[in-house]
Structure 1
Amino acid sequence: MTDGGPTLLEPGGTNAVGQMLGLLGDEWSLLILGHSSRGLTRYGEFREVMPISNSVLTHRLTRLTEHGLLERRIYRTNPLRAEYLPTARSRTLWPMMLAIWEWERSWTGPAGEALPLRRHEACGAEFAPLLTCRACGVPVEARDVRAAWGPSGGWERSVPASSTRRRPDSVPNSLQYPQTLEIFGNRWSSALIGAAFRGMVRFSQFETALGAPPTLIAERLRSFCALGVLETRQHAHHPGRPEYHLTDKGRAFFPITALSVQWAQKWFVSPEGPALVQTHTACGHDFVAHLACDQCRQPLVTGSITIVPVIEDRTTPEGTP
């Protein structure tokens, strides 16, 4: 599949959210798409910047091509060489990628603080992306949005089967955006964070909704608590039964989930209707996520953002180690 329209889904099958989790809920695919957005196109280029095996890279490139996020184009026939170009489908992931950059920069300590800043060319200021409602322009947080399953919704249709398996140590922590990969770069993790935003707090709720093995749910909950996106609280009436609540850091992940769901429902269309219906409670309109510059409040558009070069600290006297 190359640049084209949305994928029409089969009635009763995996919905747009499930399709998105199956594609983006994989750490290697996210890394490939991130490098693709920065201009990498060739197999050797991906291998150079990622500690990935040939078989895994080939599989992921093939899968992303089959689902319309990359276009394979032959640029040499003898020997045969191909490059993988971004499509309209992958290029429209830039708001989600920008939200990932902001969350990592704000919430992951020294590693995030070391990320380069970005400048909004329209106002000339270094900025942070601000999640807003397109209908009324007001900044939005997770608590401001009411979500309900749509005609093609439901947990069973939103958690996909997957042909990829994730090993806990498969992506080194030295890579860019490691905490996002822990939360979103795995189909069960991304489904679990979505369930937390839907108000689930008890182990039994996560287990019933997601249909994942209890040991996997327990491992993911421990990981999320270690990352600081969830915290345990004791049940009010059952002290021995912990609940898992989003922290400020976890709630700040909402723009990433909102933008990924929005991307999914643009490119994977069910004849029954949307999988998830979201309403901005302040204005009553359907919530359409939109990023604005926090300095000038103007909408952010592709091409209006540049990376601010990192300037070496030159305050150390010459000759001092």
Structure 2
Amino acid sequence: MLGMLGDEWTLLLIQRALLGARRYGEFAAALPVSNSVLSARLQSLVTDGFLIRLEYQTNPSRSEYLVTPRSRSLWPMLVSIWEWERRWVADHAEQLPGMRHEVCGGDFAPQTTCLSCNGAASEKDVTAQWGPSGGWGRSIPATSNRRRSGGRRSGAVALFPQTMSVIGDRWAFALLVAAFVGVSRFTDFQAQLGAPPSTVAARLSVFTDEGILLSTGNGYRLTDKGRAFFPVLVTALQWTQRWYPDPDGPAVVLTHTVCGGRFAPVLVCDQCRKPLRGAQVAPA
């Protein structure tokens, strides 16, 4: 998941495709992206199975890009990211719009529920353990993400600035997951992740500066803002285990302690309480 989606532009292009963009000009008009970057990312999305390129004109050649089931099923993660950035991140050039549920017509916030019992779920009542194919070694990509651009902040990072500080970095995402499962001390982060001390220190510094973690006398703990990232983590995990299954079994097993059942996230509208569907969500 990090290798595929931990990129400044990829998630935004998928989001625009899900909102109806198909042609090159539509993507270019919607996002502050250069032609060279846009062409490269669209090609990567085709190669990775997120988009299908279909030629609709031959002279001159013109193509459109259609979403696949793989990209269409990313909408819970995208909705969760949008809500977290809108609620918790202030440094946007323009205020992010809200979301409208077209079933009830209300401006809504997505709420996370448990598929097993339909009850509300949060990081406080969902536990995680490694499955047959899991472990920190598999959770941290062996190489840096493929399509990161240098050290300069791109326009996409400015749109989702703090989300990219988490999922755009292979160590940062793993460190935040470790915080969610109870790791708090510097030495424990280092031991669990197998990361160099300087790497752990740098990521902890970013998260404390952004208010995701709070440094205490005994270590680090998640803030309210950090805990609010829970829906992004569980929807990302759900998508990854669906599209990249391991024959040995799941990498991570989540349990909803309220009902005792296997936890799978379901997003519902906080206005009408009905399950959300990607095609029914629009900018407010």
Q: TM-score, normalised by structure 2?
A: 0.89
Contact persistence 2:108–2:270 (CA under 8 A): yes
Partner of 1:159: 140
Contact persistence 2:157–2:164 (CA under 8 A): no
Q: Deviations over 1:57-99 (max 9, x none)?
A: 4443333222211112223334444332211110111111111
Match of 2:220 among 207, 223, 244: 244
Match of 2:279 among 298, 303, 313: 303
How many residues are paired up? 282
SS for the counterpart of 2:97 is: coil
Partner of 1:275: 251
Partner of 2:116: 135
Match of 1:181 among 164, 172, 175: 164
Q: Which residues of structure 1 form unaligned runs of 5+?
A: 1-19, 236-242, 309-321
CA RMSD for the aligned pairs? 2.4
Partner of 1:203: 186
Q: Which residues of structure 2 form unaligned runs of 5+?
A: none
Question: Quick one: structure 1 residues 81 and 124, their matched pair in 2 at CA, closer, same or farther if it must change by over 3 Å?
Answer: closer
Question: Quick one: structure 1 residues 210 and 29, their matched pair in 2 at CA, closer, same or farther if it must change by over 3 Å?
Answer: farther
Match of 2:203 among 213, 216, 220: 220
Match of 1:262 among 233, 238, 242: 238
Contact persistence 1:105–1:113 (CA under 8 A): no
Superposition pairs of residues 284-295 of structure 1, within 5 angstroms: 284-295=260-271
Alpha-carbon distance between aligned partners in 1 of 2:256 and 2:195, rounded to the nearest angstrom:
31
Contact persistence 2:12–2:156 (CA under 8 A): no
Q: Report deviation, 1:136.
A: 1.1
Alpha-carbon distance between aligned partners in 2 of 1:175 and 1:38, rounded to the nearest angstrom:
20
Question: Quick one: structure 1 residues 48 and 184, their matched pair in 2 at CA, closer, same or farther if it must change by over 3 Å?
Answer: same
Alpha-carbon distance between aligned partners in 2 of 1:276 and 1:174, rounded to the nearest angstrom:
29
SS for the counterpart of 1:36 is: helix
Question: Quick one: structure 1 residues 224 and 273, their matched pair in 2 at CA, closer, same or farther if it must change by over 3 Å?
Answer: same
Contact persistence 1:230–1:245 (CA under 8 A): yes
For the pair 1:96 / 2:77, whether they are aligned, the reply is yes
Q: Deviations over 1:118-176 (max 9, x none)?
A: 23233333221110101111111112111001111001112123333453433248842
Quick check: which has more Rg, 1 or 2? 1
Partner of 2:48: 67
